[in-house]
């Protein structure tokens, strides 16, 4: 079990770096979404399914969608 | 306040907060140890109220007041977004033009998962007291699931099927129902949000007293909040254009 936690933690660290290193905000919404999934895996590894569910709904679906819509709006204006 | 004074204030406040956090972390039980006083206390309290999902027992029974606060924050932020994203004076609405190209596979997967996702969300809300999940998680799944209609179908289809007016009402009703349950608890059990309903049998769908009903109230509010929130963003992104683009 602790090996699973270590792997999940490492993936979260790698994913977080990937989000920060992504330049284009539109691509960043996608990496952020993947990072949200990795976080959900970590929460599952730490036996917190309730938090993992919230994380998938908010971090993987709603926040990236709001970022994408905001980018679309800004591109329409300029 | 000058820049120098602001930085000085930040250094003092930030330093104190950091010191408190480090002190707090140093005093925590070690990671993975078996010493969990809060777990032991909350587990006993959850079993006493016939709630098999201990997390829901904490959220909707032991610390229901915290959940009322969180729910109010969500309500306030959705109202804030609605006010901020209303079309400005130099913007006007138009019919969305062109739906763009859509892969058949995207359309198929979207329509396939639309009913499944909404159903899973409703089940998560209903079983909040029994299995992992609850009002918040299920509400988010229902609210987001409806938007698969936008991904798989079109904006027009989403507009026709999405009950924004009902969602605005649902948000207020959900938040109000939670507060009313709190007052009912105060009147009947002498504590605000006290668990006054029959507890039922451990593990049953209708167990845990008021936890189930508070979970449903939160589910209605959160699902409505997601629909209203995304409606504002979609409206701005798809239907509203600024003056400068019209002139060009």
Interface test with A, best of B132, B155, B218, B241 (most A CBs within 10 A): B132
Shortest CA distance to B137 belongs to which of B121, B153, B151? B121
pTM of the model: 0.85
Looking at residue B93, what DSSP letter applies? E
Q: Which residues in chain A have their CB less than 8 angstroms from residue B134's CB?
A: 50
Count of pairs with CB atoms under 8 A, one residue in A, one in B? 56
Instruction: Give the nearest chain A residue to B136 (CA atoms).
Output: A54
Q: State the Cα–Cα distance between residues A20 and A17, nearest whole angstrom.
A: 5
* Burial state string for B42-54 with b = 16 or more CB within 10 A and e = fewer than 16: beeebeebbbbbb
Instruction: Give the nearest chain A residue to B227 (CA atoms).
Output: A62
Q: What is the DSSP code string of B98-167? A: ------HHHHHHHHHHHHHHHHHHHHHHHTTTTSS--HHHHHHHHHHHTTHHHHHS-HHHHHHH--HHHH
pLDDT by 10s per residue, chain B, length 248? 789 999 999 999 999 999 999 999 998 888 878 888 888 999 998 888 888 888 998 999 888 899 999 999 999 999 999 999 888 877 777 777 666 678 888 889 989 999 999 999 999 999 988 888 888 999 999 999 999 998 888 888 888 888 888 999 999 999 999 999 889 888 887 788 888 787 888 877 887 888 899 999 999 999 999 999 999 999 888 888 765 544 44
Query: Helices B64-84 and B164-189, interaxial angle, to 10°?
Result: 150
Residue A50 to chain B, least CA–CA distance (Å): 5
Instruction: Kindly determine whether residue B137 and residue A65, on different chains, have CB atoms separated by under 8 Å.
Output: no
Q: What range does the domain containing A63 cover?
A: 2-77
Instruction: Kindly determine whether residue B237 and residue A72, on different chains, have CB atoms separated by under 8 Å.
Output: yes
Instruction: Kindly determine whether residue A73 and residue B141, on different chains, have CB atoms separated by under 8 Å.
Output: no
Instruction: Kindly determine whether residue B242 and residue A77, on different chains, have CB atoms separated by under 8 Å.
Output: yes
Number of domains in chain A: 1
Instruction: Kindly determine whether residue A70 and residue B55, on different chains, have CB atoms separated by under 8 Å.
Output: no
- Which residue of A50, A62, A69 is in closest CB contact with B237? A69
Instruction: Give the nearest chain B residue to A61 (CA atoms).
Output: B144
Please, what sign has the CA dihedral across residues B89, B95, B97, B100? positive
ipTM above 0.90, yes or no: no
Instruction: Kindly determine whether residue A70 and residue B233, on different chains, have CB atoms separated by under 8 Å.
Output: yes
Q: What are phi and psi of B150, to 5 degrees?
A: -75, -40
Shortest CA distance to B182 belongs to which of B217, B207, B206, B208? B217
């Amino acid at each position: 079990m602790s090996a699973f936690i270590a792997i999940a933690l490492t993936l979260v660290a790698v994913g977080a770096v990937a989000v920060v290193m992504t330049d284009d905000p539109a691509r960043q919404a996608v990496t952020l979404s993947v990072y949200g999934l990795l976080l959900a895996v970590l929460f599952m590894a730490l036996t917190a399914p309730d938090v993992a569910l919230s994380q998938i709904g908010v971090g993987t679906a709603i926040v990236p969608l709001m970022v994408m819509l905001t980018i679309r709006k800004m591109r329409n204006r300029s | 306040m000058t820049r120098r004074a602001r930085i000085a204030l930040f250094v003092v406040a930030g330093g104190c907060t950091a010191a408190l956090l480090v002190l707090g972390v140093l005093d925590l039980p070690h990671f993975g140890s078996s010493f969990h006083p809060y777990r032991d206390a909350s587990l006993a309290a959850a079993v006493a109220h016939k709630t098999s999902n201990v997390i829901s027992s904490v959220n909707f029974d032991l610390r229901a007041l915290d959940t009322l606060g969180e729910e109010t924050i969500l309500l306030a932020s959705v109202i804030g977004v609605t006010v901020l994203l209303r079309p400005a004076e130099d913007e006007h609405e138009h019919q969305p033009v062109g739906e763009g190209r859509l892969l058949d596979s995207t359309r198929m997967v979207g329509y396939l998962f639309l009913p499944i996702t909404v159903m899973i969300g409703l089940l998560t809300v209903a079983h909040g007291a029994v299995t992992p999940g609850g009002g918040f998680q299920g509400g988010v799944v229902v609210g987001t699931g409806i938007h698969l209609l936008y991904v798989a179908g079109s904006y027009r289809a989403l507009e026709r099927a999405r009950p924004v007016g009902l969602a605005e009402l649902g948000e207020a009703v959900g938040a109000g129902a939670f507060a009313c349950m709190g007052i009912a608890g105060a009147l009947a059990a002498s504590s605000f949000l006290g668990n006054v309903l029959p507890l039922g049998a451990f593990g049953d769908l209708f167990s845990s007293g008021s936890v189930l009903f508070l979970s449903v109230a939160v589910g209605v509010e959160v699902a409505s909040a997601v629909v209203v929130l995304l409606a504002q963003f979609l409206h701005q992104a798809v239907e509203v254009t600024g003056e400068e683009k019209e002139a060009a």
